Amino acid sequence: MAEEKKKTTFWNFFDNLEGDKVVWMIVLLLMLISIVAIFSSTSQLAISQNTSRMAIVTEQIKISILGLALIILCYSIRSIGFFRVFSQLGYAISMFFLIILATHKQIGPIKPIMVNSAWRIVQIGGYQVHVFEIVKVAMVMYLAWAVNAYRNDKFLIANILAKKYPLWQKPLVKKIFYIYIPIFTICLGIMVGSLSSTLFIGGIMFITILIGGISVKELIMPGALAVALLIGCVGINSLSKKPSDQKPFPHLESAMNRLKKDGNSNMMEVLRTEPQGSQEFQKALDKIKQPVSAKIAIHEGGLFGKGPGRSTQRYVVPIMFEDYMFSFIVEEYGLLGGLLVIILYISLLARGSIIVRNCDNHFAKIAVAGLVLLITGQAMMHIMINCDLGPLTGQTLPLVSHGNSSFLMFSLAFGIILSISKMAKRKIAREAEKAGPLVERAEHDEVSSGINELEMMEAMESEPVIHENDIPDYGLDDHNNE
């Protein structure tokens, strides 16, 4: 009874948690880092919204609690079949929101909103939701289901159609309909708002199906088709005579300019030639000051940083708390703080590989691998961009940067990972329990045999040695002679 009471205390709560405890620690540490970093980095946001930093931190604490509740909700699910069933809706949900963005039309209470000349957000009631954040997680889960269903030939609609139309009996037709078409239509929908998000999410989707068992040879043709699709979109944009903001893919042209090596030099040329205060000068300044300020922040951070609350670049970069959170962390907490963040994401990748190896369910393996790669891939991309190792993409630092939609969707991803890790841990425990008696019996047999040998040796030593001369003569020899 005393032992049971001890286990129900607060201090033993973490010991009683199932699932991978390293992943739990990563989640909690990232959330704590987020709250502290948001408090220090939102000076510009507080000024623009005419509020206080404490109010923004309070909002971040609330969203962290909500995210933690979402993680615990997913963690409490005890059946992998639940995730498999709801994963089938991932493609439909993603396309629904992307169609609203592409058509710019309101459907019921869901209204598309243009932010920074881009259609990426919908408003549901009084809340704004970033559609691309939903699509990331939803499509990883959908493709995990689709690849697993393709492997086991469990496409319900396709198998029903196959009874009437023999064409649906072919595996290639099922693969095209359930895997390739969803990937390409999602990429087209995202490209309307962002080329960088298209490349990143598209890359994650291709890696997910590759992990699921689709061979590299099979992906050569879809990969070539993806490149042709991108070239076709560029051609459509170039042939359109409409203004850049009214073209079919309005952000494609600006994204292509970012990929050019002389992008920054062009902006510098505009700053030198255009008069200060002009619209062209201001646009060029906005485009160049954010990456430059991020590099300055990392340079000034040094090894130990300036200390909490002493960042200066947060007054220069208006979205420091979103796209440039890593550079802010380095400025205030130095290279050591930045390394801590990197170690957390790399640790997640390592623990994810362990969870995948211990899953006996193919769908669970693909889902965990895809979600872990999504989180760590976006984190590494964010860090590389902050270090000026790539063009600006607008990807946030998972579970650290400010952003309600991103925070909640990554919380959902972590919840699924922890739930599946709990199931994998139970399998390990069952195998260890089965293996336990075998080890104990082997050790018992070894000890028992050793004891028996020792007793036999002692018995042999205690028995008297009988010599030939000690045997009494009963006249047997004489009798035999007769």
Helix H or strand E encompassing 59: helix 53-75
Size (the chain), residues: 482
The mean per-residue pLDDT over the stretch 8-14 comes to: 57
pLDDT of residue 292: 76
For the chain, count helices (H), then strands (E).
20, 3
Higher pLDDT, 471 or 201: 201
Structure tokens at 116: 């920074």
| pLDDT band, residue 60 (cuts 50/70/90) | confident
Give the lowest-confidence range in 145-159, 212-226, 323-337, 454-468. Answer: 454-468
> When comparing pLDDT for 128 and 431, which is higher?
128
Q: What is the pLDDT of residue 24?
A: 92
Whose tokens are 């933690």? That residue is 68
Is the pLDDT score of 209 beyond 90? Answer: yes
253-305 per-position pLDDT tens digit:
666 655 554 455 555 555 555 555 566 665 666 667 777 777 788 888 888 88
Burial string for 373-408 (b: 16+ CB within 10 Å, else e) reads bbbbbbbbbbbebbbeeebbbbbbbbbbbbbbbbbb
- Residues 356-414 have pLDDT tens digits of 988 888 999 999 999 999 999 999 999 988 887 777 777 889 999 888 889 999 999 99
pLDDT at 438: 41
Gap between the Cα atoms of 229 and 243, Å rounded: 22
Mean of the pLDDT values across residues 210-221? 87
Rank 50-64, 97-111, 342-356 by mean pLDDT and report only the highest: 342-356
Report the C-alpha gap between 246 and 250 in whole angstroms: 6
Q: Confidence band (pLDDT; 50, 70, 90) for 482?
A: very low
Please list, in sequence order, all residues whose beta carbon lies within 8 angstroms of the beta carbon of residue 285, skipping any fewer than 6 positions away: 271
For the segment 425-432, the average pLDDT, to the nearest whole number, is 62
d(CA 110, CA 101): 10
Residue 344 · residue 30 · CB < 8 Å: yes
Supply the pLDDT for residue 2.
Answer: 47
More confident residue, 155 or 284: 155
* DSSP designation for 110: E
Q: What is the mean pLDDT of the chain?
A: 79
Q: How confident is the model at residue 134 (pLDDT cuts 50, 70, 90)?
A: very high
CB burial string 86-116: b at 16+ within 10 A, e below: ebeebbebbbebbebbbeeeeeeeebbeeee
The pLDDT tens digits for 61-85 are 999 999 999 999 998 888 888 999 9
Encode 441-464: b = buried (16+ Cβ within 10 Å), e = exposed.
eeeeeeeeeeeeeeeeeeeeeeee
In this structure, what are the phi and psi dihedrals at residue 170, rounded to the nearest 5 degrees? -75, 130
Instruction: Read off φ and ψ for residue 19, nearest 5 degrees.
Output: 90, 180
